[in-house]
């Protein structure tokens, strides 16, 4: 008779995501995962595979949650300039100083892990496309000038967003970050 799992896979995957996010991939051992997730090694391997597979599954969960969150955020902010302003200001307010899981993975794992390069490149494209569609919607609503190169602008705003997520981990002067945000948003006039 097959063994019944005594844990919720999604809950355990969410916990694994949070541990990898907090500690990083390299600093997280299998024993750390076993202790933090509250499941034994056999269950971990049977359900999720090895550490790398668990990491990639947890990162995919993060990507899905982040994309859904940004989509909902943009839908609730019909004015593009105000929407980006609020998004960037929220990034500054990261009290835990965790930053972005994707950015953390990029700085930790690239260029040494080619398999992660593909995943992270896909993440970048997905977010740039979200930013592009939001800008396009704003342009169609008359919020942006027609001559803007929206693809380049989406890429630039993605870079600014990720930069804020990194710099806000060390920068305690919120005014400096806000001034930089204001300068970037001046391109949306």
**What would the pLDDT profile of 41-57 be if each residue is shown by its tens digit?**
998 999 999 999 999 99
Confidence of residue 62 (pLDDT cuts 50, 70, 90): very high
Sign of torsion, CA 48 51 53 59? positive
Under CATH, which number does the domain 77-188 receive?
1.10.357.10
Distance CA 22, CA 112 (A): 20
Of the options 3.30.70.2190, 1.10.10.10, 1.10.3720.10, 1.10.10.60, the CATH number for the domain spanning 1-60? 1.10.10.60
pTM of the model: 0.86
Domain map (residue ranges) of the chain: 1-60, 77-188
């Amino acid at each position: 008779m097959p063994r019944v799992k005594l844990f919720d896979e999604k809950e355990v995957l969410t916990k694994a995501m949070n541990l990898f996010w907090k500690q990083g991939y390299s600093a997280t051992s299998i024993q750390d995962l076993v202790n933090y997730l509250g499941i034994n090694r056999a269950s971990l391997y049977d359900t999720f595979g090895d550490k790398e597979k668990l990491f990639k599954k947890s990162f995919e969960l993060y990507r899905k949650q982040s994309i859904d969150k940004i989509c909902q955020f943009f839908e609730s902010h019909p004015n593009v300039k105000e929407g980006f302003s609020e998004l960037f200001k929220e990034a500054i307010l990261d009290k835990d100083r965790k930053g972005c899981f994707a950015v953390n993975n990029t700085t930790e794992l690239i260029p040494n892990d080619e398999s992660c390069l593909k995943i992270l490149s896909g993440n970048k494209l997905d977010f740039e496309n979200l930013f592009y569609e939001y800008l396009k919607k704003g342009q169609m609503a008359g919020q942006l000038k027609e001559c803007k190169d929206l693809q380049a602008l989406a890429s630039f705003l993605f870079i600014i967003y990720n930069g804020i997520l990194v710099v806000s981990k060390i920068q305690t002067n919120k005014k400096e970050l806000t001034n930089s945000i204001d300068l970037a948003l001046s391109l949306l006039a």
